[in-house]
Amino acid sequence: MDIKVLHKSSTFSSFTNGGLKLSTWFSNFGDKRQRKPSIKTSKSCTLSVVHENARFGSDGESEEASGASDDIITPVKLRPKSRRYSEQDINKRLSLPVDLHLPESFVAKQNVSPTIEGPLSRASRRQSLSEIGFGRMETYTKLDRLGQGTYATVFKGRSRLTDNLVALKEIRLEHEEGAPCTAIREVSLLKELRHANIVTLHDIVHTEKSLTLVFEYLEKDLKQYMDDCGNILTMNNVKIFLYQLLRGLAYCHRRRILHRDLKPQNLLINEKGELKLADFGLARAKSVPTKTYSNEVVTLWYRPPDVLLGTTEYSTPIDMWGVGCIFYEMACGRPLFPGATVEEELELIFRCLGVPTESSWSGLSQYLETHGPPKMSKNPEPLMSRAPRLDHDGIDLLTKFLCYEAKNRISAAEAMKHPYFRSLGPNIHKLPDIVSIFTLPGIQLSKDPSYRAYGIVKIKRRRMFLRF
């Protein structure tokens, strides 16, 4: 057999001695490759034909012709194309019989290039608002269930618009009763509150079966934070948390809003250390003059004595007693008045603060009529001995929170100016409402003893915006 040696610049015409064109050779080659006449040649395979006078280089590609050459025709280059699957390719990949014909629509679908997923542009995000905009449940993806209460279930979720984590408080609607009054009250108040130390309500989704409140997501509450620290917080952190609590509460009181359910479980903390008031289900706007309200407010351990006795006329001082109890709990690592009943709660208060007189508490006569003389087995134990970690200013502030007479309790705005917070600096009083105190230099949390980091310990939220 003769072997024909060709120069690297030889053309296809030289190889076939001029008797066959490249396009004809490809056509004949394709006919020989067909095994069964019944199988149609795929229409999805297209070839670009190079001019037969084109010169090929050593790498198999056509060489560039000089622009000054008139006798050389510029070759048509092969354009890179994405792989297109034929019917035979798909049959082979799916292990289907050779003589099985797939629908043309299926073959065409396989040849469509997949869309590249990525963050939405500004234009496409505007366009998508009609499908996953605010007020639509499709906008949010549920991840984990955080807790369940009488009227609501709270889920950890993610917004498809912003990709941020959110807290979804799903309130079940009864056909006869409709939305609970606590939900209506919470929505009406939170829509008007914009503060760095109050949880933000992002969205409201109303469907036939539920009312979903979309809040910003915070990692844990103050109770869980203290548990992670072994109930031992540094005094610097106690001061920073207390100031943030007073700051958010003062904002509410300026707008004549009473929270009425202050406790560590309703104070949420994020990884930056920002503390925010949450669960406004029992909160209400206070009118002037003071009206009669329900006395079934505030968890028992943080309930002031006047409310324990059943008074229904109260104002902003109802929240300040709870602030004092939380202050003590952060500083000492244990609740101040952990009573199981109203009678036991009052006895614990008397044992700590002493038996009140008619001059120090106008509600004493009412107590004596209902319960008789208080049982006092011991002399009252001074707060100084109960809270040894608090300095003189700390004890003075705590005493002003825990006054029998409601009108004698210090207000949130006055407490923020107390000498106890002098170490935080004067600029902390000049911050706008929506600005965090951690924007100031020198304001930062200390590392608490035995603190377990967020990423190490995974604790499910026992309560988040819920009323149990």
Show the 3-state SS of 37-93. CCCCCCCCCCCCCCCCCCCECCCCCECCCCCCCCCCCCCCCCCCCCCCCCHHHHHHH
The alpha carbon of 341 is separated from its chain's Cα centroid by a whole number of angstroms, namely: 37
Contact 134, 140 (CB under 8 A): no
Distance between CA 391 and CA 399 in Å, rounded?
12
Distance between CA 229 and CA 220 in Å, rounded?
13
Distance between CA 65 and CA 73 in Å, rounded?
8
Cβ neighbours of residue 129 closer than 8 Å, sequence gap 6 or more? 161
Per-residue tokens: 147: 């807790």
User: What is the CB neighbour count within 10 angstroms for residue 238?
Assistant: 21
3-state secondary structure of 277: strand
Contact 315, 325 (CB under 8 A): no
Report, in angstroms and rounded to the nearest whole number, the Rg of the chain calculated over CA atoms: 38
Per-residue tokens: 408: 């004698």
- 220 marked as part of a ligand binding site: no
Angle (deg, nearest 10), helices 392-401 and 317-332: 140
User: What is the CB neighbour count within 10 angstroms for residue 440?
Assistant: 15
Contact 305, 401 (CB under 8 A): no
Closest C-alpha among 235, 319, 230, 220 to residue 273: 220
Closest C-alpha among 208, 210, 223 to residue 264: 223
Contact 406, 318 (CB under 8 A): yes
Closest C-alpha among 305, 327, 348 to residue 397: 327
Report which residue type is found at 210: S
Catalytic residue among 228, 261, 279, 319: 261
In the sheet that holds 275-277, the strands lie side by side as: 220-221, 267-269, 275-277
In angstroms, what CA-CA distances link 313 with 251, 266, 316, 368?
Answer: 22, 24, 11, 19
Per-residue tokens: 48: 């670009």
Distance between CA 148 and CA 154 in Å, rounded?
6
Report which residue type is found at 233: L
261 classed as catalytic: yes
Binding residues for ATP: 169
Binding residues: 169
Residues known to be catalytic: 261
